[in-house]
A and B are shown apart, each in its own frame.
Chain A
Amino acid sequence: MNGNADQPTVQPVEKGSENVVDKIQQLGQTNIPQMDQETNIHCLTIIGQIEGHIQLPAQNKTTKYEHIIPQIVAIEQNMKIEGLLVILNTVGGDVEAGLAIAEMLASLTKPTVSIVLGGGHSIGVPIAVSCDYSFIAETATMTIHPIRLTGLVIGVPQTFEYLDKMQERVISFVTKHSNITEDKFKELMFSKGNLTRDIGTNVIGQDAVKYGLIDEIGGVGSAMKKLNELILERKNGKGGDILQ
């Protein structure tokens, strides 16, 4: 839904003191609530399925790259935002859209911390490792598996070599941005007996840290603490080359 001529406008319901302010805004006054809404840490949630070129049914929870990418640009541009927390609970989805988000996060100059809650499966793995520091909840899981496609890329069937190259892009991104070795990642990707009638591995919290995929076990509290540390480091001029 791009902005167009029949872009609807909304007026908030009349209720409580907040709406007094809303009414003032409608009269063309300055934006009062914006003042106390400033925060130095913003939060990006990657939920549901990562949507590619095909719009998924409306009932699906999706993360759309056309939403996420402008938000990342805005975060990079806004001087008041000092850090970004990325929260993942995704089943994966479109490889190229996922990699695009991961690359954008990796190239942010501001400190970024990711937490995997619930699941960060499939293409969620590169997104989780793209941040400066990554956390995983103890019960959260990440499924590592080979790239599966319908074989249709840009509308035409692709060769096996094309898919293989695509997979190589994922592997090289993950190994570059985390401490896992290529051999170990491939071993997890192609191992048998873990997934029903499929190859791959379901890596649970502690194991993800053990393999070097994720930096630490933790939740929101530890992630915020780490993010504040990174922000402080960057302010003190030491954050020139943050690990990973």
Chain B
Amino acid sequence: MILYTTVPEELIFPSDQEAFQKRHIIEMNGISLLIEETGENQCQIVRVLSTNPNHYLLESVFPGQKVPFFRS
């Protein structure tokens, strides 16, 4: 299907809210991280949200790392 329109795709096909609700921005050891819930009490680091280049070298916050996750 080709849609000839200037309306952006995300307006025509809004993505489901579930994908967004799974994502959270948290802070771990002073580093902001974007995480995604992957299961019960587990999440995966999606992105490091930091401007400090050294934070990207820390093994404990490498993207893809699985970390236990608790709702407080």
Contact = CB atoms under 8 A, between A and B. Distances in A.
Interface of A: 1, 6-13, 15-16, 18-19, 22, 25, 31, 33-34, 36-39, 41-44, 54-59, 67, 71, 74-75, 84, 148-151
A10 B7 contact: no
Contact of B59 (A9, A16, A54, A57): A16
Given A18-B60, A57-B19, A150-B11, A10 B51 contact: no
Given A31-B30, A150-B8, A150-B11, A13 B65 contact: yes
Nearest to A25: B29
Interface in B18-50: 19-20, 22-26, 28-30, 32-33, 35, 43, 49
A233 B68 CA distance: 47
Contacts of A7: 24, 26, 72
B8 A75 contact: no
A38 B58 CA distance: 13
Mostly, the A contact residues are loop
A36 B49 CA distance: 19
B10 A22 contact: no
Given A39-B52, A57-B10, A10 B26 contact: yes
B11 A54 contact: yes
Contact of B70 (A8, A43, A44): A8
A221 B30 CA distance: 28
B54 A39 contact: yes
Q: Which 8 residue pairs spanning A and B have beta carbons closest together?
A: A58-B19, A57-B15, A42-B51, A37-B54, A12-B60, A43-B53, A10-B28, A71-B51
8 contacts: A7-B72, A8-B26, A11-B67, A13-B66, A13-B67, A43-B53, A56-B10, A149-B6
Contacts of B67: 10-13
Contacts of B35: 8, 10
Contacts of B28: 10, 12
Contacts of B43: 8, 10
Nearest to B8: A150
A56 B19 CA distance: 11
A79 B68 CA distance: 35
B29 A12 contact: yes
